[in-house]
Amino acid sequence: MLALPLVAAVIPFVVKKWVRVWGWTTIIFSFLALLISGVLAVHLGDGRVLVKDNYWIYLDALSVYFILLVNLVVFTASWFINGFLTHRQQISTGYHPRLFHLFFNLFHLTMLAVPMVRNLVFLWIAVELTTVFSTILVRYRGDRKALEAAWKYIIITTTGIIFALLGTLFLLASAIPQASLDATADPLNWAWLAQPAIAKNLNPTFVELSFFFVLVGYGTKAGFAPMHTWLPDGHGEAPFPVSALLSGVLLKSALYALLRFYTIANLALAKNGTNFLPLSWLVVGLFSLGLATPFILKENRFKRVLAYHSLEHMGIIAFGIGVGTPIALFGALLHALNHALTKALMFLTYGHVRQIYAAQSVGGEISDEDIKGVLSGLPYSGILLMLGGLALVGAPPFNIFMSEFIILWAAIARPFSWAGVLSLIIFLVSITVIFIGLVRHLSRVILGPSPFKLMIESKVALAPLFLLIGVIVIFGMFVPSVPIDFLQLLNQSVHIITEGSVGVP
């Protein structure tokens, strides 16, 4: 699976003339990676693990869940690469197809590596490499706005990742006393540290310091407030297939790293009865939700509005983890998948619409203010935008409603406390106001007369998006068990987060 994006990245330097062949290679290889991750989900979803000592690889249900998520979004985004590059060639700016394919596939490779490695330093390196390759993609257009967005992105996230490295060193320091007594110990192996017998003897002070710095560090990459300020610029200026990856799965890669540290810290601090971990998650989650609200309400470019929605939904996930019960963790993990699918749908559909509108205009470029009346000008894309928008704000019967309801249900089921009531009020008010804000932005884009006559749409180009909306509706009604038993995969992932590593570390 790791070899597939690596080969796809090299193909443009071997087959030098046929640009469309490069795009189809990326599509086919990302689909093969998706199939392999599906096979892994079937075989490892029941609690088994796959360990490769020679490569420091460890796969369990939680790893496979995030790998499946990455491959699904990458495959969908790759479908639009040829159209995007054709448009860039027509307007003769920011057209470097070989470099785009190279870094798109290397970005895919590093996001796959994050959930595979079991060494904490390798995990840190993999997360940092996702930053390096995605930064080049953010600045792909080469204009001033893209360069500023890329600069802001790499400076903020690299600063954050330094805190994550410091947190990793604190966790290592907490394990040194045990490691010095055991010749087989591996204190940089998170699977070793996540064994309950090992975790309960870790130094609690160092563990708390570790999680604090890791939450700041990887939380910056995950888009949590107040470290989120790179997010609207990065998502807003990146090519639309890259925006789908940034919002859909890059944020989740950082979340995966946080969940591994959270598992260790949760086991280590359980005996102390401290509220440090749930309180940290709840504060970050509610702050992210609250901060996203005014930015979604104000007038803004639509891609930036979608970026602030990522801040909102990462806040919802953090809130679910902060509630901390198994059902809340189930809802948070399900929400990670639901958000990835829905946000990929929205970025890809809007990017596709913007591209067609730009092709109709003079010079091949268009402003956001001119993108309106999509439902009358591009009916299929307009329907996809409308349904995707309703899904994004949590309307039934779409998937985000399901995961938000599960998280809310878990929060209500907790023992009564005034802090809990206040948290619920903030949560409900925020998502209600955000609902109103996005509906207003959507109405501006999809309703009214189109500036162009009815335009021809390729049903083949939109095929993956119709597939996505179908999956979104299915996950809004139930968690499917065919062909992959997602219910079992999610339950096993929750078990890993609450009980620690399973199998040979």
Model pLDDT, residue 364: 65
Rounded Cα distance, 117 and 245, in Å: 21
User: In terms of pLDDT, which residue wins out, 370 or 279?
Assistant: 279
Per-residue pLDDT at 382 exceeds 70: yes
Phi first, then psi: give them for residue 479, nearest 5 degrees: -90, 115
pLDDT attached to residue 180? 75
89 vs 410 pLDDT, higher one: 410
Classify residue 212 by burial, with Cβ atoms within 10 Å: 0-12, 13-18, 19+: middle
Residue pair 285/325 in contact by the 8 Å Cβ criterion: no
Q: Is the peptide bond before 5 cis (omega within 30 degrees of 0)?
A: no
* Angle between helical axes of 459-477 and 61-78 (0-180°, round to 10): 150
Interatomic CA distance for residues 291 and 192, integer angstroms: 38
- For the chain, the first-to-last Cα distance in angstroms comes to 22
- List, in order, residues 6 or more apart from 431 with CB less than 8 Å away: 289, 312, 316, 393, 394, 404
Each residue's pLDDT tens digit, 68-120: 999 999 999 999 999 999 888 888 777 789 999 999 999 999 999 999 999 99
Q: Which two tokens stand for residue 128?
A: 């940092």
Of the listed ranges 44-48, 136-140, 307-311, 470-474, the least confidently predicted one is 44-48
CB 126 within 8 A of CB 118: no
Question: Residue 209 and residue 458: Cα distance in Å, rounded?
Answer: 53
Average pLDDT over residues 356-378: 82
Q: Which has more pLDDT, 180 or 267? A: 267
Predicted confidence at residue 363, as pLDDT, reads 65
Q: Of 324, 250, 267, nearest to 66 (Cα)?
A: 250
DSSP result, 264-277 = HHHHHHGGGT--HH
Cβ(334)–Cβ(252) under 8 Å? no
Closest Cα to residue 285, out of 352, 222, 241?
Answer: 222
Q: Give the per-residue SS3 of 338-372.
A: HHHHHHHHHHHHHHHHHHHHHHHCHHHCCCHHHCC
Residues 273-331: tens digit of each pLDDT: 788 999 999 999 999 999 999 999 888 889 999 999 999 999 999 999 999 999 999 99
| Least-confidence region, from 282-296, 351-365, 384-398 | 351-365
Q: Which amino acid is at 198?
A: I
Amino acid at the residue 180: S
Q: To which residue do tokens 């990742």 refer?
A: 161
**pTM summary value:** 0.96
Mean pLDDT, all residues of the chain: 92
Q: What is the pLDDT of residue 186?
A: 85
Return the pLDDT at 505. 57
Secondary structure of 215-252 in HEC code, one letter for each residue: HHHHHHHHCCCCCCCCHHHHHHHCCHHHHHHHHHHHHH
pLDDT tens column, 415-457: 888 888 999 999 999 999 999 999 899 999 998 888 877 777 8
